[in-house]
């Protein structure tokens, strides 16, 4: 009888244990199902945001391209701003969802944290100065090559290379980049007064050392001065000191200064006795009182001294009063052409006979320049 009661008790205990396990399983089942549903919803939401971000980035690129093609259209400028704002709002929203604990105000990194490009050393940013090349975040969250225009109260004003757009970024949104030495002795000078002359430029940069060369940039169509040029110093130190005058006032204007990109050498591959010939384009109609000629297809090794000597020899001894090179507006690269101004119209008439002739192993393109180009 005692054994029978013990067996019954054990049997009841087993039944109770099974019931309890089943009840526990039933309780956890809805939670698991709910967790799976929540995860799926999150994945769908992330996918939707990702697609939307991709579409907005495309919209920004298209709007930027359209605006660059026609900067006079204010509606295109407005469309670009709206597209960038929508993208920025979306990215800020995403960042808010995944944001971790707030960073300490001293912005100190853990000694165990590796210093990568994505995790720049704050002290590195503090070493940056005006005129330096760096990388800065853009409105689409990507890093773009930029130049530092100004540093004030821990904020950096930068110009994105290739876009011409400027922005003010925080220290955490800027980093140094490993680039080739950008310092040269040649500086681009922009936003110049149309009353500028060589003597004024030399006087303005007097404390930076001697200037070896000054070139004014002219419009390729009209030949008129474009309000910009290039100044070459005799030393690297002089150029570095001069670029610090960026945004300072000169002849009533805040001038723009930056290091010019070194010109890529384009060696002449045609032997001296085998110059490539092309059909000679006839001269255009000679304007009245013409003192200036256009010269194209020049050697990339030409300089002002060689050009002046050649022009004076081939113009019957006419005096050259100015030589102006045509250069790329953005890079400063010489475009193999320029304008030569003579003291007399007689010298012009003589020199245009060099159209189709060879100078420094190049077949020249010579023509009259319109007088209005130099009014």
* 56-83 pLDDT tens trace: 888 888 887 887 788 777 778 778 777 7
The mean per-residue pLDDT over the stretch 32-52 comes to 66
- Name the domain count of the chain: 4
Chain mean position to CA 222: 27
Is residue 139 a contact partner of residue 168, using CB atoms and an 8 Å limit? no
Domain limits for position 144: 122-176
Question: What would the two tokens of residue 286 be?
Answer: 């000679």
- As a three-state string, the secondary structure of 181-234 is CCCCCEEEEECCCCCCCHHHHHHHCHHHCCEEEEEEEECCCCCCEEEEEEEEEC
Which is nearest to 174 in space by CA: 142, 137, 140, 138? 137
Do 304 and 325 share a domain, yes or no?
yes
The model's pTM is 0.31
Last residue of a domain, one of 208, 242, 259: 259
Contact 101, 67 (CB under 8 A): no
Q: What's the confidence (pLDDT) of residue 9?
A: 62
Is residue 362 domain-resident? yes
* pLDDT tens profile 194-219: 888 888 999 999 999 999 988 888 77
Supply 276's token pair.
């490539």
| CATH number of the CATH domain containing 154 | 2.30.30.140
CA 272 to chain centre: 39
Same domain, yes or no, for 190 and 149? no
Residue 245 lies in a domain: yes
Residue 265 has pLDDT above 50, yes or no: no
Q: What b-and-e string marks burial along 253-284, b requiring 16 or more CB atoms within 10 Å of the CB?
A: bebbbbbbeeeeeeeeeeeeeeeeeeeeeeee
- CA torsion sign, 179 to 183 to 188 to 189? positive
């Amino acid at each position: 009888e005692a054994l029978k009661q013990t067996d019954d008790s054990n049997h009841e205990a087993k039944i109770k244990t099974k019931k309890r396990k089943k009840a526990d399983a039933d309780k956890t089942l809805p939670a698991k199902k709910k967790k799976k549903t929540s995860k799926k919803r999150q994945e769908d939401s992330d996918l939707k945001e990702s697609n939307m971000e991709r579409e907005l980035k495309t919209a920004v690129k298209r709007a930027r391209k359209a605006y660059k093609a026609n900067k006079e259209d204010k509606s295109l400028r407005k469309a670009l701003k709206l597209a960038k704002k929508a993208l920025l709002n979306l990215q800020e929203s995403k960042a808010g969802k995944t944001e971790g604990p707030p960073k300490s105000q001293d912005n100190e990194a853990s000694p165990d944290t590796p210093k990568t490009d994505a995790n720049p050393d704050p002290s590195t940013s503090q070493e940056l100065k005006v005129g330096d090349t760096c990388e800065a975040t853009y409105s689409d969250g990507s890093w773009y090559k930029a130049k530092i225009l100004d540093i004030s109260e821990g904020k950096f004003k930068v110009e994105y290379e290739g876009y011409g757009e400027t922005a003010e970024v925080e220290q955490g949104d800027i980093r140094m980049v490993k680039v080739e030495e950008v310092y040269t002795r040649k500086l681009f000078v922009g936003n110049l007064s149309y009353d500028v002359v060589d003597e004024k430029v030399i006087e303005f940069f007097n404390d930076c050392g001697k200037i070896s060369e000054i070139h004014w940039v002219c419009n390729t169509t009209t030949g008129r001065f474009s309000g910009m040029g290039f100044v070459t110093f005799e030393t690297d130190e002089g150029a570095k000191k001069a670029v610090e005058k960026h945004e300072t006032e000169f002849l009533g204007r805040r001038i723009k200064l930056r290091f010019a990109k070194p010109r890529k050498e384009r060696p002449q591959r045609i032997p001296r006795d085998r110059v490539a010939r092309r059909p000679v384009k006839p001269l255009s109609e000679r304007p009245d009182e013409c003192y200036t000629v256009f010269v194209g297809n020049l050697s990339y090794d030409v300089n002002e001294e060689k050009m002046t000597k050649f022009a004076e020899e081939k113009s019957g001894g006419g005096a050259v009063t100015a030589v102006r090179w045509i250069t790329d507006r953005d890079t400063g690269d010489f475009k193999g052409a320029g304008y030569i101004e003579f003291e007399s119209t007689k010298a012009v008439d003589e020199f245009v006979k060099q159209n189709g002739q060879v100078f420094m192993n190049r077949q020249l393109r010579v023509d009259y320049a319109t007088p209005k180009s130099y009014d």
